[in-house]
Each structure stands twice: as structure tokens, then as C-alpha cells.
Chain A
Amino acid sequence: MLTILFDGIAYGMLLFILACGLSITLGLMNFVNLAHGAFAMAGGYVTVVLMNRYGIPFYLCLPAAFIATAVIGAALEVTLYRRLYRASHLDQVLFSIGLVFMAIAAADYFMGGQQQLINLPPELRGRLDVFGIGIGRSRLFIIVICAILAVALQLALTRTRFGSQLRAAVDDGRVARGLGINVSTIFVLTFALGSGLAGLGGALGADMLGLDPNFPLKFLIYFMIVVTVGGTSSITGPFIAALLLGIADVAGKYYLPQAGAFIIYAVMILVLILRPNGLFTREGGR
């Protein structure tokens, strides 16, 4: 029972890291980016290639995955995404679906369609026994990393100059520009950060979630749930939503395996009917 809770928390934390970039682009910048999962997949593949082909240790692969996907994200933002901030949602949807299709086919072409396996370092394998509760070491590692990241993100958004500039740029780009904030640079950096975090999440989760070319579509719905249910008020909303989703999903798969993902979708639709703007909304925001 507690093991399930623990696994659920680890899963939820992972979802949060994967989706928090999306909660900024979609929630704050109002861009429907269905291709977010493709960045996570890219991070996962970077890790797989570095570890299995070049023998680089897992701990070094994680920052590498972050940097690689952040660079890809920044490049795409400057070349493509930037032009579509003002486009209609339909255009954004079509564009990002196109990106997803391209990413899937490219992953299939370069890496093959099979599941990718990574060998975690020995100290992350197996289970710890704490007061009779079995705790997977890799899960513990994920929880620790993600918790640190979540706190750091929250602090960065609320306490730093960059954070307040971002919030200003998102709330009213014109006024922010008038105040001398370089809005487009802020957006590039934010987009890169969000993609980088997704890549890091993909790298961390390659073991737990599995990694194959269909990753972006398979987890798209989970990311979207985290963002839409969590709302866009802060990092806290998506964080709580991700934890709830993780625990519910793991528990559901354990106790009611025949219901499958059914419960998750049903709950999401229900939440969206009752609170179309998410559980935790901010007054006055876009």
C-alpha cells in the first residue's frame, strides 16, 4: 500500500518535471504545444545514445540531456515557434502535431521502433527497506531530484529578477516591452528551460516510463492533463495535479487493472466540466 503510494509519488514527480515546461508555454504563454513530449523523447534518446554507445555515466547524461534538449528547444523557438505566438489555436495545434509526426518518424528512422533500455548504475537498482516499506532506489532518486527541481523552479519564478520579468512579459507583453524588458529573449530562455526540463524528465524516466518512438503521443494526454487540471496560476497547481495523477494512475493500475486508463480520462473530463479553467486558477490572468 505505502509502496504504491511511493511509486505514485515518484511517477507524479516525474510527470511534473516533464510537464512543467508545458505549463509555462501552454498555460502562461498561451501556446498549444502538443509537441512537448517530443522534447522529452529527445532527452531520453540522448541519454540512451550517450550511455549505450559512448559509455558515459548516467549522472553525466542527465545534464547532457537537459542541455541538448534546451538547445533544440531554443533553436525551434527562434526559427518556428516564435512566429506562431499570435496565430490561432488551430494553427498551433496543426503545427505541433506536424512536429510530433516528424519527431516520431525521425526517432524511428535513427533509433528503430523497439523499446530502448538503459542500464541504471548499480547503486540505483534494487530496493531499500525502510520500516518494512519496499522503496525502489531509482524511484527515490527521481523523487529527490524532482523535489529539488520543483523547489528551485518555484523560487526562481517568484524570487528572482528573471522570474518577475517572465511573469510581466506573459501578463502583458506590450507593457513589459515598454518597461525595457527584452520579451523575446525571455521567451527563448523560458522555452529552452521548459524543453530542457522535459528532456531531463525523459532521461530520468527512460527506465520507468519506457522509451520508444511513440513516446510523444503516449504521454501527451498526461502532460495535457497536468497542465489543464493544474491550471496556470503557479508551479504549485501543476505540481499538485501531477502528484494526484501519478498516484491515481499507479493505484488504478494496481487495484483495477481492467479499468486501464479509463478512470484518468473520466476524472479529467469531469474536472474540466466542473472547472473549465483548471482546479487552481489565478484571478485576472490570461
Chain B
Amino acid sequence: MTDHQAHALRLLTAKHRWRVWEIALWLAAIAAIFLLPSQLLILTEIVILALFAVSLDLILGYAGIVSLGHTAFFGLGAYAAGILARDYVAEPVTGLVFAGLVSGLFGLATSFLVLRGSDLTRLMTTFGVAMLLAELGNQAAWLTGGADGLSGISMTPILGLFEFDLWGRNGYIYCLVVLIVLTFVARHITNSPFGLSLMAIKRNPRRAAMLGISPKRRIVTVYAVSAAYAGMAGALLAQTTNFVSPDVLAFHRSADVLLVLVIGGAGYLYGGIFGAIIFTMLRDWLSVATPQYWMFWIGLILVAIVMIGRERLTGWPALLAARLKSRTGEAAR
């Protein structure tokens, strides 16, 4: 084996290895069940938002697709799970899988829209699809409840065993389990050759194509997977709140999830999770401090993030590590 091969192999295995902070994060999330019993509702909210942001990270961070309408899949999943629970089967896991399938298929069907054209065309088509769904949800009041939202959902116990309790304890555990499982799956996907080829496409589609990586099929696949993830996040929201508001398809949700991902940093999966924690706490704090105008501060944060530079904000651990390394290297010399 040549030097280069060995180096590449080392890099790849290092990427795949579990980090201390990853394990610590999950342990903290599990410990929260016992340590923060009164905060479980907001923690559930964070977990759902985190899953939604992870799904966006799959297409934005790994495939480089800027979407302005990612909430289309979130909302579709929420409605799918809500309607299924209201009219047919009220078992949550079934609803979760169903919502993932519906959203995934819709993602597959609309994925060809993001294959063509420039960033701008993609922005417009993703935005348009979300607006179209929002309009549809609003008009089809017989199915979705229209502007009043979808109510009358009552979930049966999870897998027939664990009932949703008033304090949101089982709801939180349920959402957390889903998030952990799906993040593991996403981790596996992004570390697989498939995920690596996606990153190659993101960097330079033409070169990737020359290396024999066909961008089309890979983008379609990851878009559908991401849509399914978003749909499941929507389903979790519908199931834990027993309600679907037409707000799930609103534009500000697409903007929020972008912000979440940008705060946490795109392209390493956990950005969505850290971003969701920071964003939710920030919004909670702002909406208490300035109930009506928190939107202003969110906007200001967005502008500030862009002005300071996203790399500088989210890349600081890497920068710090690099600096420390070079310093110790010098000291050793």
C-alpha cells in the first residue's frame, strides 16, 4: 500500500470513528429525561427541530442544494401522520413510517426539479413546491381542516405499550429514540462511498462526473432520503402535539430551519442538533424578552452571521485544533 492510500484510509476511518463529544451529547440527551423533567416539552421541540435540520443538512451540507421550501416535506409528513391517526390507525410508529414514506415519495417525485438549472432556479422551484402544498392544504379543508388546522387526533400508546403522558416524558423518549436512530442511519449514509461521492458532487459536479460519479441518481436519492427524514420530523410534531396547524407549511419554517443549520454549521450532521438547541433556547428567551418583535432579533442574527462569515463562526473548533497542533509542533521542534 502506498503512502497516499494509507493516508486516505486513515482519514476515512478517522471520520467514521465515534468522537467523545458525540457520545457525551447523546448521554446528556438521555440524562435530561431524569434531570430536567419539567423541561421535557421544550426538549421534545428541540429534538423535532433537530431532526428537521439534520434532514436539511443531508441535502444542503452534503449535496449543496439550497432549498427555500424544505418545510414542504415537514408539513406533508405532519399532515400525513395527522390524517392517518385521525381516520385510520392511531399507532405512532405506523404513522411515523407512513409519513416518512409519503414525504419520501413526494421528495422523489419533486427531486427532478432540483436537478436542472442554477441555484436560483432551485430556490424558486423548492419555494414554489412549498407554496403549492401550503395552498393545497389551505384549500382542501375537508381533508386538512384548512386554516383551522387538523385537530381531533388522539394517539394510541406507542407500539401499544407506552402511553403519551401529560408531562411529555414518553413523547420525549419516543422522539429522542427516533432522532438517535435516524442520525445513526444518516451517519452511516454520509460515511459510505455514496456520501463521499455526494460531497465530491457538491465540490465540483463536473469533475465528479468525469471521475465516473453520476450526479443525477445520487442527488435524487439523497433528496428523497432527506424528504423522508423531514416527513418523519413532521410526523413527530403532529403526534406529540395532537394537532397540525397550517403553519407547518409556512415559509418562515423553511427559513427557520436554514437558520438552525447555519447556526450549528452545515455538513457534519450534528450542526442541525446543536443549532436546534441554540435556536430554540434563543427564541424562547427572545420571545419572553420581546414577545412581539423577536423576529427582528432573529433577522439581525442572520445578517450578523453572514457578515461575520459562517466559516469563522462554525469552524472555530477546527481552527483552534489546527492552531494548537501547530503550536505543539513548534514546541516539539
Binding site for B on A (CB under 8 A): 26, 32, 80, 83-84, 87, 89-91, 93-95, 97-106, 108-109, 217, 221, 224-225, 228, 258-262, 265-266, 268-269, 272-273, 276-277
The CA-CA distance from A89 to B251 in the complex, in Å, is 18
In order of increasing CB-CB distance, the 4 nearest A-B pairs are A98-B302, A101-B299, A276-B117, A105-B296
**Nearest Cβ on chain B to A137's Cβ, whole angstroms:** 33
Listed A/B pairs (27) with beta-carbon separation below 8 Å: A80-B303, A87-B306, A93-B258, A94-B305, A95-B306, A95-B307, A98-B298, A98-B301, A98-B302, A101-B255, A101-B298, A101-B299, A102-B296, A106-B296, A109-B293, A109-B296, A228-B121, A228-B124, A259-B139, A261-B131, A262-B135, A265-B128, A265-B135, A266-B132, A269-B113, A276-B117, A277-B117
Judge whether B307 and A93 touch: CB under 8 Å. no
Residues of A within 8 A of B118 (CB): 276-277
Judge whether B127 and A221 touch: CB under 8 Å. yes
Is B295 interfacial (CB-CB < 8 Å)? yes
Is B259 interfacial (CB-CB < 8 Å)? yes
The CA-CA distance from A88 to B289 in the complex, in Å, is 33
Q: Which of A228, A269, A277 contacts B129 (CB 8 A)?
A: A269
Residues of B within 8 A of A90 (CB): 60, 66
Is B120 interfacial (CB-CB < 8 Å)? yes
Judge whether A276 and B306 touch: CB under 8 Å. no
Judge whether A102 and B299 touch: CB under 8 Å. yes
Judge whether B117 and A101 touch: CB under 8 Å. no
The CA-CA distance from A91 to B116 in the complex, in Å, is 21
Is B328 interfacial (CB-CB < 8 Å)? no
Q: B135-162: which residues lie under 8 A (CB-CB) from chain A?
A: 135-136, 138-139
Judge whether A97 and B302 touch: CB under 8 Å. yes
Residues of B within 8 A of A266 (CB): 132
Of all chain A residues, the one with the shortest Cβ separation from B68 is A93
Judge whether B119 and A32 touch: CB under 8 Å. yes
Residues of B within 8 A of A273 (CB): 112-113, 116, 125
- On whether A80 and B307 interact (CB within 8 A), knowing A90-B66, A97-B255, A260-B138, the answer reads yes
Judge whether A83 and B307 touch: CB under 8 Å. yes
Is B5 interfacial (CB-CB < 8 Å)? no
Judge whether A105 and B295 touch: CB under 8 Å. yes
Residues of B within 8 A of A104 (CB): 295, 299
The CA-CA distance from A268 to B130 in the complex, in Å, is 13
The CA-CA distance from A104 to B300 in the complex, in Å, is 12
Apart from A94-B305, A221-B128, what 6 extra A-B contacts exist at CB < 8 Å? A87-B306, A260-B139, A265-B131, A265-B132, A269-B129, A272-B128
Judge whether A276 and B116 touch: CB under 8 Å. yes
Q: Which of B131, B299, B310 contacts A97 (CB 8 A)?
A: B299
Q: Which of A91, A106, A261 contacts B310 (CB 8 A)?
A: A91
Residues of B within 8 A of A261 (CB): 131, 135
**Nearest Cβ on chain A to B217's Cβ, whole angstroms:** 19
The CA-CA distance from A90 to B124 in the complex, in Å, is 13
Residues of A within 8 A of B32 (CB): none
Of all chain A residues, the one with the shortest Cβ separation from B117 is A276
Judge whether B302 and A91 touch: CB under 8 Å. no
Scoring B60, B113, B306 by chain A CB atoms within 10 A of each residue's CB, the highest score goes to B306
**Nearest Cβ on chain A to B43's Cβ, whole angstroms:** 26
Is B13 interfacial (CB-CB < 8 Å)? no
Judge whether A276 and B121 touch: CB under 8 Å. yes
Of all chain A residues, the one with the shortest Cβ separation from B138 is A260
Is B277 interfacial (CB-CB < 8 Å)? no
Residues of A within 8 A of B299 (CB): 97-105
**Nearest Cβ on chain A to B184's Cβ, whole angstroms:** 27
Residues of A within 8 A of B259 (CB): 94, 97
Judge whether B124 and A272 touch: CB under 8 Å. yes
Judge whether A26 and B120 touch: CB under 8 Å. yes
Of all chain A residues, the one with the shortest Cβ separation from B300 is A102
Is B278 interfacial (CB-CB < 8 Å)? no
Is B2 interfacial (CB-CB < 8 Å)? no
Is B292 interfacial (CB-CB < 8 Å)? yes
**Nearest Cβ on chain B to A215's Cβ, whole angstroms:** 14
Residues of A within 8 A of B129 (CB): 269
Judge whether B303 and A224 touch: CB under 8 Å. no
Judge whether A269 and B296 touch: CB under 8 Å. no
Q: Which of B112, B120, B135, B303 contacts A98 (CB 8 A)?
A: B303
The CA-CA distance from A261 to B128 in the complex, in Å, is 11
Residues of B within 8 A of A224 (CB): 123-124, 127
**Nearest Cβ on chain B to A114's Cβ, whole angstroms:** 13
Residues of A within 8 A of B300 (CB): 98, 102
Judge whether B138 and A94 touch: CB under 8 Å. no
Scoring B113, B131, B292 by chain A CB atoms within 10 A of each residue's CB, the highest score goes to B131
